[in-house]
Structure 1
């Protein structure tokens, strides 16, 4: 097998179908001498004349006839499974998509994304997971997780692509009857108030914490919690202040007893991005899912970038301005 040239098989098939070396050469876009040389190599390798010249053209020997069925099957499988592009049909796929989402990513994206998936891929399913940074890197590389959507600063190496979906700042949540002014909270009042701080795996809050520390803005932290969804009840039943991403703030003010207050001082901007491993950049199913996510934020979705600055120009050329 190590010495057998598989490139000879298509030539044998062409001669069998055309019953002529010259006709086979035209079909294969080869010269007639080249086809003759290849045919002689195949005869030598198999120890059989394979084709005999007669008045009715090149007639196959029994060995050649037995060769044609397996040859057709081999070539069809190569074209279908090796050379053809990755096939993905949303309407019929039963794929299970796994998403790593931060709290804000799940809140802002998941309901609408799930609706789009159900419309276009009704037989597909979705699983959301939360992972530690090292686990998430390994899961994206292995394909265990398809996309990570949210604020994931740990996914900063050349093996990952990223696309910003939208940006938001931070706001404050207070109970409706809180004694602080209704529209804005000054830096003085902010530092004097008691605070709820969210310390979750999603990392939306730690980014805000670092920003405040760099500006030497001190807070009196009364409560630390790992769950964003505990915030509405805690704020509504206390005089504590919660500093949260705007998207979350605008969502929870739908609940009675909570109001949104703008900080009277600078707050950081938070980019919500989707990340995927470079191994799956050309995967049709992954690209389809990324496209759905990006289409949910037409005003904010930006150019696809490699995490390595030295690769960004080539990645942008390959990816286009948007998914």
Structure 2
């Protein structure tokens, strides 16, 4: 490759394509929206850089040399890719898309978000798939920044940096669960009952449980913890077969009553409500696929 070739201004390549297809410098100028002198100057720069006349006058107008012809196909391909992949904005059509979305979900998100979301996708975006992940705070932040995670949905108090956007979906609270045959009756526990009972406690990756733990710490309340587990799914069966008490996010507790012989009962403290939100990184704020997924979740879950 000659030294001059390394100085080629790639911004001038559309001039070669326009002249090759129009067979005329003046018509190429009209097509490009340039003045004719500007096109002539650009052509002279290309000739100097490539050491080739590129076009010569023939009976049918400006005829490309072999060097110009060698540039036409790749130039056309490059410009078409830019138009389709960049300037078109990456239009997302859910009806035909085969995109795989990765969503970081808290414990509540798994039970409240996924069922309705998957039902919607099966109907409106049948080839779209979802991967649900539960990660620690730092991994969630890194995943959103790097694009490995599309959205984080649920209770994520760490996603407050200015590079993250968020949208509130709905408010939530906590509820306690007892064996449906437990001798304690009524709709709310007394503090004496709460302290006397043995407790099952979930120590999961999700952050929502810490809200209830912080409330107990604030009031200096110490439970008698009989079971500590990182998993939610064993809890309804444990509560249904013991006299233990567990306190979980309301949606989780409500779901558990449908699969085991347990019932809801309010804890003795007024538990503050907390917001569930969807979070995304600033880099993907205008991404068509990400925008579509956010709009679906907002449509399904905003209050």
Q: TM-score range by the shorter chain?
A: 0.7 to 0.9
1:165 equivalent in alignment to 2:169: yes
- Number of residue pairs aligned between Structure 1 and Structure 2: 299
1:296 equivalent in alignment to 2:300: yes
Partner of 1:175 in structure 2? 179
Distance 1:65 1:264 in 2: 82
State the Cα deviation string for residues 30-66 of structure 1 (Å, max 9, x = none).
Answer: 2222122112212222223333456754444444344
What is the 5 A alignment of 1:188-203? 188-203=192-207
- Residues 97 and 66 from structure 1, CA distance in 2 versus in 1: closer, same or farther, beyond 3 angstroms? closer
State the Cα deviation string for residues 102-123 of structure 1 (Å, max 9, x = none).
Answer: 2211111112211222222322
Distance 2:261 2:73 in 1: 76
Distance 2:98 2:58 in 1: 54
Distance 1:72 1:227 in 2: 56
Partner of 1:147 in structure 2? 151
Distance 1:124 1:109 in 2: 16
Distance 2:260 2:197 in 1: 22
Question: What RMSD in Å do the two structures reach over aligned CA positions?
Answer: 2.5
Match of 2:34 among 30, 49, 53: 30
Distance 1:278 1:78 in 2: 23
Distance 1:70 1:225 in 2: 60
TM-score (norm: length of structure 2):
0.86
Partner of 2:279 in structure 1? 275
Unaligned runs of 5+ in 1: 301-323
Match of 2:128 among 124, 130, 134: 124
- Residues 97 and 57 from structure 1, CA distance in 2 versus in 1: closer, same or farther, beyond 3 angstroms? closer
- Residues 38 and 177 from structure 1, CA distance in 2 versus in 1: closer, same or farther, beyond 3 angstroms? same
Partner of 1:303 in structure 2? none
TM-score (norm: length of structure 1):
0.82
Distance 1:95 1:44 in 2: 46
Unaligned runs of 5+ in 2: none
1:74 equivalent in alignment to 2:68: no
1:88 equivalent in alignment to 2:86: no
1:185 equivalent in alignment to 2:186: no
- Residues 237 and 4 from structure 1, CA distance in 2 versus in 1: closer, same or farther, beyond 3 angstroms? same
Partner of 1:215 in structure 2? 219
1:248 equivalent in alignment to 2:252: yes
State the Cα deviation string for residues 193-251 of structure 1 (Å, max 9, x = none).
Answer: 33222111112212210122113333232322222222222222333222111112222
- Residues 43 and 260 from structure 1, CA distance in 2 versus in 1: closer, same or farther, beyond 3 angstroms? same
SS at match of 2:181: coil
> What is the CA-CA distance between 1:172 and the residue it aligns to?
1.7
Distance 2:111 2:232 in 1: 10
